[in-house]
Amino acid sequence: MDGRMRGNGRRAVRCLAALLIVSQALAGCRTVAPDGGRVETVAVQRLLDRWATALRGHDERAYLGAVDPEATAYRDRRRQVYENLADVPLASWDYRVARLGGFAPAAGSGHRVAVEAELRYRLAGYDAAAVAVPVRLTAVRRAGEWYVAGDDTASGDRQLWEQGRVTVVRGAHGLVLGAGQRAELLRSVAALTDAAVPVVDSAWKDGSFGRVVVELPASLERMGALLGAPASDYRGIAAVTTGDGSGTPARIVVNPEAYGALGDFGRRTVLTHEATHVATRDSTSSATPMWLSEGFADWVAYRGVGRTPRQIAPELARSVASSGVPRALPTDADFGFTGEPGRLAQAYEGGWLACRMVAERWGEGKLVAFYRAVGKTGVEQGVKDVLGVGVGDFTERWRAYVGEVLRG
């Protein structure tokens, strides 16, 4: 199978990979703290500060000491998570309490409380800003001391280290994190990432792109858990890119099943495509249509590979031969992961040919300028300002180009 088994960076943006949304049911009758929870909020924040400091300082005793001694199963799980994080290069890790929920009686002295907070962490050498993760915890006070008493993270596994011990492979341009994966595969992904980044940089010509973080879960199901979506949404999709373009660090999340079915060319194409999404995320907005964001990523991935349009766009070529050229550029709906595979393939191929046409007819520099302009002003204005044509004219030129290169 070839490189068309790959992910949609914008779709994954909406999924926001790696959310740690957890909840814990509080038993018993809920009450309201006399002071509205202000004292408890300060106490819980101090507890989470100590917890974070212990993790950053690799102090297992202090880390587990912040966990409720009566929550045996939860304590065992946090010990495992602590061990899973051992090799992850953390530059920062802290919690910010947003609010406390209901108060309820607890066995012994004091009470337990629902905590809504935000985990913020950065990977050393890779994240310029923090990844913000919403969390819901349960805190309990026993004999005047506060402890973290639970969450339901195990049911979600929405961070890689919740899924198993994280193996870390560093490359010249990439950091590869894997859970339940062979080190040999992680090294291979790191090597292909190192090869992809210079290719992307030479096409995008931004000058600031240079480091990529790739995550490899153990299975398709674990990938779905990382992305907070059903695994079936990503079946046949080799990778997706997360990150919202507003400074949030991006992650390439690999589907080990679909990626494993690819040959060397397909794997290289997938990682170059996804690395392009990382490079262009700050210039990609809601005004950027999917045919442009995905087509540009494919254009970079296939640039200079020496394959013909019919080899790269076989689904669209068959459709053109049987039904003629498409009447319009692919819509965002055509890129739905859960839709008909042939329709998805044709959408990618149509977007790629649109970008290829711009690069050939107007020049590669104009294609990059067009991408940036569309992210700011939308397609209609971007086509006019950069390419000097209207949307209707552009579409007709694309239709003629598709027929020309796929029928020949």
Question: Which pLDDT belongs to residue 246?
Answer: 66
Q: Are residues 43 and 139 in the same domain?
A: yes
Asked if residue 172 and residue 122 are part of one domain, the reply reads: no
Tell whether 225 and 329 lie within a shared domain. Answer: no
What is the domain extent for residue 294? 285-408
Token digits of residue 267: 């794997």
Same domain, yes or no: 123 and 181? no
State residue 158's pLDDT score.
84
Give me the half-sphere count of Cα atoms (radius 13 Å) on the Cβ side of residue 60. 12
pLDDT of residue 109: 53
Q: Which residues lie below 8 Å from residue 190, measured CB to CB, with a gap of 6+?
A: 169, 170, 171, 174, 176, 214
Q: What is the pLDDT of residue 280?
A: 94
Please check whether residues 30 and 2 belong to one and the same domain: no
Task: Classify residue 352 by burial, with Cβ atoms within 10 Å: 0-12, 13-18, 19+.
Answer: buried
Instruction: Tell whether 58 and 3 lie within a shared domain.
Output: no
H helix runs in 250-390, sequence order: 256-260, 264-280, 290-302, 309-312, 314-323, 341-361, 364-377, 379-382
Q: How far apart are CA 269 and CA 352, in angstroms?
A: 13
Q: Which residues pair with 90 in a beta bridge?
A: 123
Give me the pLDDT at residue 16, please. Answer: 29
The last residue of a domain, from among 157, 190, 224: 157
**Residue 320 sits in the same domain as residue 339:** yes
Q: What is the total residue count of the chain?
A: 408
**Residue where a domain terminates, one of 234, 254, 281:** 281
User: Among positive and negative, which fits the CA dihedral 252, 258, 261, 266?
Assistant: negative
Local mean pLDDT, 10-residue blocks, the chain (408 residues): 37 32 31 58 96 98 96 95 97 95 59 92 94 92 92 71 96 96 97 96 84 96 92 92 80 97 97 96 95 98 95 97 96 84 92 98 98 97 98 98 93
CATH number assigned to the domain comprising residue 78: 3.10.450.50
Last residue of a domain, one of 157, 177, 204: 157
Count: domains in the chain: 3
Domain with residue 193: its CATH number is 3.40.30
Residues 59, 125 within the same domain: yes
**Phi and psi torsions of 282, nearest 5°:** -75, -15
Rounded-to-integer distance, Cα 146 and Cα 292, Å: 52
Angle at 17 between CA 347 and CA 263, to 5 degrees: 55
Q: What pLDDT was estimated at residue 3?
A: 36
The pLDDT, as a whole number, for residue 188 is: 98
Same domain, yes or no: 149 and 175: no
Q: What is the pLDDT of residue 210?
A: 76
Same-domain status, 148 and 178? no
Give me the pLDDT at residue 205, please.
85
Name residue, tokens 């943006």: 13
**243 and 324 together in one domain:** no
Please choose, from the candidates 346, 319, 330, 320, the residue with its C-alpha nearest in 3D space to the C-alpha of residue 407: 320
DSSP code per residue over 54-110: HHHTT-HHHHHHTB-TT-HHHHHHHHHHHHHTTTS-EEEEEEEEEEEEEEEE-SSSS
342: tokens are 């042939």
pTM of the model: 0.87
181 in Cβ contact with 218 (< 8 Å): yes
Residue 264 corresponds to which amino acid? Answer: D
SS3 317: helix
Same domain, 169 and 250: yes
